[in-house]
């Protein structure tokens, strides 16, 4: 029962996992732009590598960000279109949750993880998690968008492991370990949560701020 997961919160990436969460194939474009051009060939490649056809899929999981408007929209529209065409459910998981889950594998229950990723405009997205039993992660705070200086000024959680692309961009303010979204972890988060009866995972995007491009304000009409 293969599941396809995709994310466009940073680079376009995709993975296929089985119903136990084992990775069958994973790919990334390595680019943080040109998502529209990169994503469809990437999906074809990851399905071929996994030996899975689109009609074999039982669900699609999409990263809901946070991320800038354009790239995130490409991933979510693609996931919803696939789900509609194939008649399978589409689930949404925050891209930060996947980064936190990867970090949690090396931590004991009760430990905290702070995920910081690039929000552009010299800002970062952040969210704080606690490691639960079995390696799951529980959201404690966020997600939010702010400057690295503002996040550091509030004080990083004592003893928390800090991970994400933001640590490489601002090592003086946010020391930690760089990490990218593994789309297979998006699927693993979704599978664990869906094991609880009645759980729904909406695909609403986490933009957190207005898009960079907005329509120009209408000018005043001259009367005469």
- Per residue in 149-167, pLDDT (tens digit) is 999 998 988 899 999 999 9
Rounded distance between C-alpha atoms, residue 187 and residue 182, angstroms: 9
Q: How far apart are CA 6 and CA 74, in angstroms?
A: 10
Average pLDDT, the chain: 92
* pLDDT tens sequence across 21-65: 999 999 999 888 888 889 999 999 999 999 999 999 999 999 999
Q: What mean pLDDT is predicted for residues 189-214?
A: 86
Residue 206 falls inside a structural domain: no
Tell me: do 39 and 103 sit in the same domain.
no
State pTM to two decimals. Answer: 0.91
Whether 209 is in a domain gets the answer no
- pLDDT tier at 77 (50, 70, 90 boundaries)? very high
Whether 131 and 81 map to the same domain: the answer is no
Bridging pattern class, strands 112-120 and 13-17: unpaired
One domain, residues 100 and 66: no
Q: What CATH code is carried by the domain that includes residue 153?
A: 3.30.420
> By residue range, what is the domain housing residue 161?
96-170
Same domain, 80 and 12: yes
State whether 29 and 84 are in the same domain: yes
Q: Specify the long-range contacts of residues 138-145, CB closer than 8 Å, at least 24 apart.
A: 139/94, 139/97, 140/112, 142/96, 143/66, 143/94, 143/96, 143/206, 143/208, 144/208, 145/66, 145/119, 145/208, 145/209
Residue 1 is predicted with a pLDDT of 86
Number of domain units in the chain: 2
């Amino acid at each position: 029962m293969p599941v396809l997961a995709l994310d466009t919160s940073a680079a376009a990436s995709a993975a296929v996992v089985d119903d136990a969460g084992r990775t069958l194939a994973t790919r990334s474009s390595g680019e943080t732009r040109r998502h529209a051009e990169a994503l469809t060939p990437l999906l074809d490649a990851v399905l071929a590598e996994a030996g899975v056809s689109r009609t074999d899929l039982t669900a699609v999981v999409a990263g809901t960000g946070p991320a800038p408007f354009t790239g995130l929209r490409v991933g979510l529209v693609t996931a919803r279109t696939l789900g509609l065409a194939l008649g399978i459910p589409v689930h949404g998981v925050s891209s930060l949750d996947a980064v936190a889950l990867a970090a949690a594998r090396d931590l004991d229950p009760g430990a905290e993880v702070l995920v910081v990723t690039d929000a552009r405009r010299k800002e970062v997205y952040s969210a704080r998690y606690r490691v639960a039993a079995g390696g799951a992660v529980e959201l404690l705070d966020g997600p939010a968008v702010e400057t690295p200086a503002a996040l550091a000024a509030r004080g990083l959680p004592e003893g928390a492991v800090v991970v994400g692309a933001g640590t490489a961009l601002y090592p003086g303010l946010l020391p930690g370990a760089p990490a990218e979204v593994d789309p297979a972890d998006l699927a693993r988060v979704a599978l664990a949560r869906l094991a609880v009866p009645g759980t729904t995972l909406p695909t609403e995007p986490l933009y957190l701020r207005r898009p960079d491009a907005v329509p120009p304000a209408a000018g005043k009409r001259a009367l005469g």
